[in-house]
Amino acid sequence: MQGVNVKSEIGNLKKVILHRPGNELLNLTPNTLEELLFDDIPFLEVAQAEHDAFADILRNEGVEVVYLEDLMAEALDTDPALREQFLNQWIYEAGIRTDLYTDIIKDYINSEYAATKDMVMKTMAGINLQELPQQHTNLLVDMVSDRTKLVCAPMPNLYFTRDPFNMIGNGVGINRMYSTTRNRETIYGSYIFNYHPDFKDVPQYYSRENTFHIEGGDVLNINEHVLAIGISQRTEPDAIDQLAHNVFSDETSTIDTILAFNIPVSRAFMHLDTVFTQIDYDKFTIHPGIMGPLTVFEITPDGNGGTKIRERDEDLESILTEYVGQPVQLIPCGGGDRIAAEREQWNDGSNTLCVRPGTVVVYQRNNVTNDVLYKNGINCLVMPSAELSRGRGGPRCMSMPAWREAL
Ligand SMILES: NC(=[NH2+])NCCC[C@H](N)C(=O)O
């Protein structure tokens, strides 16, 4: 399958990009959790088993599962010069500025991780000082530094493949992320979309070099004409303006309306997909915390290369009904219970991955919400979630659809 095709949130899923959590999770420590955007340290072995169960559920539904690390290795292997170019960029973006350390790290990786995929995995996992060959340099760093200090930080959020880049119809946005820790993740996306034979011709609507931040968890493909984007902790309005301009000016794109949903800035609601996801033609799961009036801005082309904006002050239900083109039903996370709603939203009860209309992957731990979904005729594919959920993301965050069939 060449290119990408994602013109809805619910069309039959044919291909998805995942990342199996790896040794980067072993480099999480209590002191770094906040900066690395985790709330606790997952037990890696169990997290991997849960992730494998997720991938198996998808394969059983006829979805082709491809892994970020494989795509990256394949992209780098298209040209022998790319390995060196990537390593230099990765080391620089890890904050290493001296030639001495750049060389030490490069030599270490090239000698210990010669195979491209091993090298890619190592760059994800991070490096601490004690792994590097001991230098006799008379440098202060070698004499004073704690030998276990991380010289290249890990990227533990990589298993949330939804965020660093996102499909928009037949195109992609390579994002600039809100946090320093996640910004390095987008290097992989930029190599895949510039060099991988299956992805290099996909039009790019956003660049990681842009000034303003936007993350894929905020971008929902409602249908081939309408895109919904959250204005959130992670996505700035300026980024949406720029994306709108780029999408509208590409004549191959069919998107003519972008809805910007202004959601409260908080960690619990970090992205739009933490408060609602589409699960059927006419059904959405939502976090009851965002019921009631919501400010939504409708952005459309003005016909002269610019955009025009209309402010809407209605509730979520009427807005979605209008743009989806039929009456929609909003199914609240946690049923009607406030405590269950808050608890299950925190564990991504409204963050489902739709495999086809009416069939969704959900976390097992959100049993109150899952019961409500069953009662509404939704087929729930239940995955284990004790460890993966410690990173604060659910099945939608952990997947980047590359191909969905037309509805
Ligand atoms: N699309 C999502 N909701 N992604 C969740 C990402 C969670 C991750 N720990 C972060 O804070 O960035």
Give distance in angstroms: CA of 220 to centre of ligand 1. 15
Of 52-61, 116-125, 284-293, minimum mean pLDDT range: 284-293
* Architecture of the domain made up of 13-69+156-404: 5-stranded Propeller (3.75)
Task: Note the pLDDT tens digit of each residue in 149-169.
Answer: 889 999 999 999 999 999 999
Question: Shortest CA distance to 278 belongs to which of 322, 238, 328, 234?
Answer: 328
What is the model's pLDDT at position 302?
95
274 lines ligand 1 (CB under 6 A): yes
* pLDDT above 90: residue 245: yes
What is the model's pLDDT at position 269?
80
What is the model's pLDDT at position 137?
65
- Phi and psi at 330, nearest 5°, equal -100, 120
User: Running DSSP on this structure, what letter comes out for residue 157?
Assistant: G
* pLDDT above 90: residue 243: yes
How are strands ordered across the β-sheet holding 64-67?
64-67, 13-18, 400-404
Map out the domains of the chain as residue ranges: 13-69+156-404, 71-152
What is the model's pLDDT at position 289?
79
E strands, 133-202, where?
150-152, 165-168, 171-174
270 lines ligand 1 (CB under 6 A): yes
162 lines ligand 1 (CB under 6 A): yes
Mean pLDDT over the full length of the chain: 94
pTM of the model: 0.96
What is the rounded average pLDDT of the residues 384-402? 97
Give distance in angstroms: CA of 143 to centre of ligand 1. 38
Banded pLDDT at 316 (limits 50, 70, 90): confident
173 lines ligand 1 (CB under 6 A): no
What is the model's pLDDT at position 139?
72
What is the model's pLDDT at position 327?
97
Give distance in angstroms: CA of 387 to centre of ligand 1. 15
Give distance in angstroms: CA of 39 to centre of ligand 1. 11
Q: State the closest ligand 1 atom to the C-alpha of 267, by its place in the atom list counted from 1.
A: 11
What is the model's pLDDT at position 291?
75
13-69+156-404 shares its CATH topology with 71-152: no
Burial code (b: 16+ CB inside 10 Å, e: under 16) for 163-185 equals: bbbbbbbbbbbbbbbbbebbbbb
User: Running DSSP on this structure, what letter comes out for residue 392?
Assistant: S
Are the beta carbons of 126 and 148 closer than 8 angstroms?
no
- CA 303 → CA 201, 299, 383, distances in Å? 27, 12, 47
Q: State the closest ligand 1 atom to the C-alpha of 215, by its place in the atom list counted from 1.
A: 1
Best mutation site among 9, 19, 41, 163 for ligand 1 pocket (most ligand atoms within 8 Å of CB): 163
User: How many angstroms separate the CA atoms of 51 and 56, rounded?
Assistant: 9
Share of the chain above pLDDT 70, in %: 97
What is the model's pLDDT at position 292?
67
Is residue 296 packed enough to be buried (19+ CB in 10 Å), middle (13-18) or exposed (0-12)?
Answer: buried
Provide DSSP, 229-279. Answer: EEESSS--HHHHHHHHHHHHT-TT----EEEEEE---SSTT-SGGGTEEEE
Structure tokens at 127: 């490096």
Q: What is the CA radius of gyration of the chain?
A: 21
Task: Note the pLDDT tens digit of each residue in 173-223.
Answer: 999 999 999 999 999 999 999 999 999 999 999 999 999 999 999 999 999
Give distance in angstroms: CA of 243 to centre of ligand 1. 21
Question: Shortest CA distance to 108 belongs to which of 146, 148, 152, 70?
Answer: 152
What is the model's pLDDT at position 276?
87
217 lines ligand 1 (CB under 6 A): yes
| Token pair 């491209």 in the structure block, residue | 116
Best mutation site among 35, 37, 159, 160 for ligand 1 pocket (most ligand atoms within 8 Å of CB): 160
Banded pLDDT at 52 (limits 50, 70, 90): very high
What is the model's pLDDT at position 143?
66
User: How many angstroms separate the CA atoms of 215 and 269, rounded?
Assistant: 13
Q: State the closest ligand 1 atom to the C-alpha of 271, by its place in the atom list counted from 1.
A: 3
* Architecture of the domain made up of 71-152: Orthogonal Bundle (1.10)
CB atoms within 10 A of CB 405: 12
Instruction: Look at ligand 1, atom 1, and give the residue with the nearest C-alpha.
Output: 217
156 lines ligand 1 (CB under 6 A): no
Task: Note the pLDDT tens digit of each residue in 289-301.
Answer: 777 667 899 999 9
Give distance in angstroms: CA of 353 to centre of ligand 1. 14
* Highest mean predicted confidence (pLDDT) among 65-69, 293-297, 336-340: 65-69
Share of the chain above pLDDT 90, in %: 85
Query: What 3-state DSSP class applies to 94?
Result: coil
What is the rounded average pLDDT of the residues 64-76? 98
* Backbone angle region of 140, left / alpha / beta, with phi > 0 → left and psi within -120 to 50 → alpha: alpha
Of 174-183, 263-272, 351-360, minimum mean pLDDT range: 263-272
Task: Note the pLDDT tens digit of each residue in 99-150.
Answer: 988 999 999 999 999 999 999 999 999 999 889 887 666 677 666 677 678 8
- CA 233 → CA 14, 32, 263, distances in Å? 31, 20, 9
Catalytic machinery residues: 397
What is the rounded average pLDDT of the residues 364-386? 97
Is residue 350 packed enough to be buried (19+ CB in 10 Å), middle (13-18) or exposed (0-12)?
Answer: buried
What is the model's pLDDT at position 48?
98
- CA 64 → CA 161, 398, 400, 404, distances in Å? 15, 15, 12, 11
Structure tokens at 368: 């109150």
Question: Shortest CA distance to 36 belongs to which of 179, 186, 208?
Answer: 179
User: How many angstroms separate the CA atoms of 221 and 205, rounded?
Assistant: 14
Is residue 325 packed enough to be buried (19+ CB in 10 Å), middle (13-18) or exposed (0-12)?
Answer: middle
Best mutation site among 157, 235, 276 for ligand 1 pocket (most ligand atoms within 8 Å of CB): 157
